[in-house]
Every structure is written in structure tokens, then in C-alpha cells.
Amino acid sequence: MSILEVKNVGKRFGGLQALGDVNLSIAENSCHAIIGPNGAGKSTLLNCLIGKLIPDTGSVMFDGQSVLGRKPHEINQMGISRVFQTPEIFADLSVWENVMIPIFAKRDGSFRMHAFESVARERKVVDGAMQMLDDVNMADKRDLLAGSLSRGDKRRLEMAMCLSQNPRLLLLDEPTAGMARADTNNTIELLREIRTKRDITMVIIEHDMHVVFSLADRITVLAQGTPLVEDTPDRIKGHPKVQEAYLGEAAH
């Protein structure tokens, strides 16, 4: 069963047709990678899914409901979380608080005037955040300011924030960009572990073919705003059109 249905999505920026006519169907509990050369429209597509951009044409349905025209916080409340290319965290707050905030958001909705309750008394949230930090091996860093973390840790923290909400769909925009090899491998391990532990669908945009082929069940190759081909990793590797449009470019 597909959880995300993208139909005939097009987006134009002035004279540039960033997305032509994108159709995607993403199966529940799968990991679907979107690859393509720079400027292929990967980020534009992701931004259309998350409410940051509104496509000119087409529809995006998540679990039978349209996400178009909804605000980012409403889309998150539907069960979609996103990991950004540069980690977006609350740099001035402690690591622990960074994870508590999404848990509060999940529990209380987009706004609640809980001004006279004490954070420390919210045992469930505090413990939930602690558990989550344990899961990503960051429990010892809970009291640090999030802004002081290393890039790799910021990425893990961002993932912990997203996962603490138990999202049904996790969108990852180049989660290993700028990471050292060891960190990349750790991230792959982390994502694999998450998939074995939970029911979660992932859509991942990635340049690093090692990451894509280690994680994805299906791969869509995007070129010049249109999907070139969609198949399993093994068949994508040998596909002539892909060689030409993408993997070939990497060999230059």
C-alpha cells in the first residue's frame, strides 16, 4: 500500500521548469531514494512535500489526505518529519530540551498554553527524551548546548528529534552531506536500526551512492525535473539511461 502519492507535480521558477511532471508512489514502510544530478529538482520536490513550496500543478496525497496548501506545522502533525541538509536544531537550547520540544509538539498539538506547568514534572516527556537520546547514543551529551555539538552529533540530534515524534514518513535531505566516512557509516547503521525497530517510511535524497545502495528498497532517478526511471537498486545500477544521466556524470 502506498503512503505517499505524488501525481503530475510541476513547479516553475520564472523561466526555469524545476519540476516537469513528477509521479511517485511510495510504499508504506519502504525506503525510497531519490537521486539525480545537481539541479535535477530533488530539493524542490522535497520542499513541495513538506509545505515549504506549493507546486503549480498536480497533487500530493499523504495517507489519503492532500498536503498541498497546508502549513509546515500542519504537515508535521499529519506524521511527516524532515531532516535537513544542514541540521536544523535549537542551537541555544540543551540537547535534552531539543528532544523534549518535538515530544511536547506531538502530545499537545501545534499550540498549548502550558505556562504554569513545570517541565521537570512532565516525567513522561523527560523520560521519553532521555530514552530517545539513549537510542542514538547521546545520553551523555544531554546537558550540552545543542549549538556546541559536532556536525555529526547535530545530525544525530536532528534525527532523534524527528524520531521522537514517531513519524510515519521521514524525509531525509542528504543526511550524510559533509560527513566523514566513519560518520556516514554510523548514520547508515542508525537508519538501518531505526527501520528494523519501527514502522517507518523513509524518503531519502542523497548524492552518496554508497548510502543509497545500502539503504534504499527502491530508487527514483530524477533528471531535469522529471523521473527518468524507478526501480530496485540492483536494476538501477545497470540501467543504461541512469549510467548516462547520473552515474556516468560521476565518472567524468
3-state secondary structure 77-88: HHCEEEECCCCC
Compute the least distance from the CB of residue 219 to other proteins, in Å: 25
Cβ-contact 93, 146 below 8 angstroms:
yes
Indicate which single residue of 89, 133, 191, 204 sits in contact with other proteins (rule: CB under 8 A): 89
Q: How far apart are CA 108 and CA 87, in angstroms?
A: 24
By the rule CB under 8 A, 131 interacts with other proteins = no
Which stretches within the chain are classed as H helix?
A: 42-50, 72-78, 95-108, 123-135, 151-163, 181-197, 209-215, 233-238, 240-242, 248-251
Asked whether position 230 contacts other proteins by CB under 8 A, the answer is no
SS3 30: coil
Residue 234: phi, psi to the nearest 5?
Answer: -60, -45
Stretch that binds other proteins, among 7-15, 31-39, 67-75, 205-213 (CB under 8 A): 67-75
Q: Pick from 9, 44, 62, 104: which binds other proteins (CB under 8 A)? A: 104
Residues 143-202 binding other proteins (CB under 8 A) are: 143, 161, 165
* 110 touches other proteins (CB under 8 A): yes
How many residues in the shown chain lie near other proteins by CB under 8 A? Answer: 43
Using only the alpha carbons of the chain, give its radius of gyration: 19
C-alpha angle 51-56-62 in degrees, rounded to nearest 5? 40
Q: Among the candidate windows 66-74, 132-140, 215-223, 225-233, which touches other proteins by CB under 8 A? A: 66-74
Tell me which stretch binds other proteins (CB under 8 A): 1-9, 68-76, 132-140, 201-209. Answer: 68-76
Query: Interface residues for other proteins in 1-40 (CB under 8 A)?
Result: none
Instruction: Name the site residues for other proteins (rule: CB under 8 A).
Output: 50, 71-73, 76-77, 81-82, 84, 88-93, 96-97, 100-102, 104-106, 108-122, 125-126, 143, 161, 165
